[in-house]
């Protein structure tokens, strides 16, 4: 595990935000003692609606599709709520989301970043297609 702090931003509707910094000092040791897991282990839930064209990650890489789907759905809801009435804010919302996704991917090893970005794009496509059908 690397890093000393976890920076969390919580977004509220409409457009309010709270930020928190949480110290990670000792977290790896606490996880090991409490649960017998090391910081290198990853726990995931089953993939939700992964497209057939999805690449299968290597055995040591896990993609949390449910979390990615939730993140993309949250973005989509916030985008839809403003894009119709204010296209400029809608465009800024897309740029902000893309920036957050790229920033998250930059914290990963290249192989994981590639899989993460592909999963996000697939979920965005799924949601867009669902929206078009409705």
Residues 30 and 57 in one domain: no
pLDDT reported for residue 14: 57
Distance CA 55, CA 119 (A): 9
pLDDT reported for residue 31: 63
pLDDT reported for residue 49: 45
Query: HSE (CB half, 13 Å, CA atoms) of 86?
Result: 10
pTM of the model: 0.52
The mean pLDDT values, 10 residues at a time, for the chain of 134 residues are 68 68 72 62 43 48 79 87 86 90 90 90 90 81
pLDDT reported for residue 125: 92
pLDDT reported for residue 2: 58
Question: What 3-state class would DSSP assign to 20?
Answer: strand
Distance CA 31, CA 16 (A): 32
Instruction: List CB contacts of 113: < 8 A, sequence separation 6 or more.
Output: 105, 106
Residues 68 and 94 in one domain: yes
Instruction: List CB contacts of 68: < 8 A, sequence separation 6 or more.
Output: 116, 119, 120, 123
Residues 104 and 125 in one domain: yes
Residues 74-95: tens digit of each pLDDT? 888 888 888 888 888 888 888 9
Residues 34 and 62 in one domain: no
Residues 58 and 29 in one domain: no
Domain containing 31 equals 1-41
């Amino acid at each position: 595990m690397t890093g000393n702090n976890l920076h969390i931003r919580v977004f509220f509707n409409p457009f309010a935000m709270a930020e928190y910094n949480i110290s990670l000092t000792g977290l790896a040791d606490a996880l090991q003692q409490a649960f017998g897991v090391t910081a290198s282990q990853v726990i995931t839930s089953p993939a939700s609606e992964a497209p057939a064209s999805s690449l299968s990650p290597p055995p040591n890489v896990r993609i949390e599709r449910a979390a990615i789907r939730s993140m993309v759905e949250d973005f989509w809801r916030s985008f839809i709520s403003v894009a119709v009435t204010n296209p400029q804010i809608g465009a800024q919302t897309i740029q902000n989301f893309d920036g957050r996704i790229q920033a998250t991917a930059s914290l990963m090893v290249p192989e994981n970043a590639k899989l993460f970005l592909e999963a996000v794009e697939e979920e965005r496509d799924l949601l867009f297609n669902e929206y078009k059908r409705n």
